[in-house]
Amino acid sequence: MSDSGPSDSDLVALALTRDDRLAFGALVSRHQSAVRHFLRHLCGDPALADDLAQDAFVEAHRSLRSFRRDSPFLTWLLGIAHNRYRNARRLKREVLFAPAELPESEPTAPKQRESELRADLAMALSRLDPSEQTALHLFYQQGLAHPEIASVTGWPLGTVKTHLARAKDKLRPLLQAWNPKS
Amino acid sequence: MTPPESADEQLLREWLAQKTPPPLPDDGFKQRVLAALPPSRPKHDWRTITVLAAGFLIGLAWALRNHASVGGLADSGVHLADLASHRTLFVLALIAGIGVLTELEAPAWLPGPIADRSDGLG
């Protein structure tokens, strides 16, 4: 994500010491997609997600001095985004997920078409607990490690692992039905 | 040592990787964020210094020009009363006016805070 150009830490330093809007703009450009995807995943509404993402970046700008370089900037940013989401939910700005358990039904019969697989996967994911969805999203799609997920969400490390394990347990019937090796 | 990935784990990783949406285009998002930021910290130091330095140099040149004929700069102190002349007051007012205008809106040629430019680094 930051393969070329100045590092995130360099840009943060520029934004801090010179109040450099260009440097902060570069950080926004670099991370806007990840933050907006994360919030869209959390709240499901693209417009609300973008509003929250904007708030998160403004908050990040205000709190830049509290950024510690012992974790990636994106992890810190996603943590702010997650807080904005929780605050919004607390204020009941939007009804978010309708959590539902994956039914204990018989495993899905093996199918061949990719579109059906995607549809099944989307349905199975939508039935996970929101916390489990978030853990899966951050782990598999944002590529964060367990401690980073803990940092973003504020959950204890053990809770992160539990959410991931439970999510995988719930997806296992689907996985086994689709896995040609099983 | 990382334990080997189970078949389920591998499949889940592949599926979710496929489900990962492509990067979102900016679509003006950065500009909205930058517009929502609080105003920059006032950084008039350089402008103020530039204006004061220019004023000092103009004033010095003015003093040297007007008093060189009566014994040089060392003697110019005795002519302080000349500062009350209309032309001197006009020049001083002009410099003060430029200073005030500079504080209100900095001209492009004066150094100031790094402005936002659309061609971002990232």
What pLDDT shows up at residue A166? 92
Which chain B residues are within 8 Å of A18, Cβ to Cβ? 113-114
Q: Kindly report the pTM of this predicted structure.
A: 0.61
Helix (H, G, I), strand (E, B) or coil at B18: helix
Helices (H), A2-65: 8-17, 21-43, 46-62
Q: According to the model, what pLDDT value does residue A95 have?
A: 46
Q: Is the CB of residue B39 less than 8 Å from the CB of residue B113?
A: no
Find out whether A110 and A177 touch, Cβ atoms under 8 Å: yes
Task: Kindly indicate whether the ipTM for this predicted assembly is greater than 0.85, answering yes or no.
Answer: no
Q: Which of A1, A9, A17, A24 to mutate to test the interface with B (most CBs of B within 10 A)?
A: A24
Task: State the nearest Cα–Cα gap between A21 and chain B, in angstroms.
Answer: 5
**How far is residue B45 CA from its own chain's centroid?**
9
Q: Which has the higher per-residue pLDDT, B59 or B84?
A: B59
Distance from CA of A85 to the nearest CA of B (A): 17
Mean pLDDT of B15-26: 81
Taking every pair of Cα atoms in chain B, the longest distance, rounded to a whole number of angstroms, is 99
Distance CA B86, CA B88 (A): 6
Question: B14 contacts in A (CB within 8 Å)?
Answer: none
Q: What DSSP state is assigned to residue A137?
A: I
For chain A, first and last CA: distance in Å? Answer: 36
CB contact (8 A) between residue A24 and residue B115:
no
CB A175 within 8 Å of CB A106: no
Q: Are B115 and A16 in contact (CB under 8 A)?
A: no
- Both tokens of residue A55? 């708030």
Quick: pLDDT tens for A74-91: 999 999 999 999 888 887
A112-151 pLDDT per residue, tens: 556 677 677 777 787 888 899 899 889 988 889 999 999 9
A182 and B CB contact within 8 Å = yes
Is some CB atom of chain B closer than 8 A to the CB atom of A53?
yes
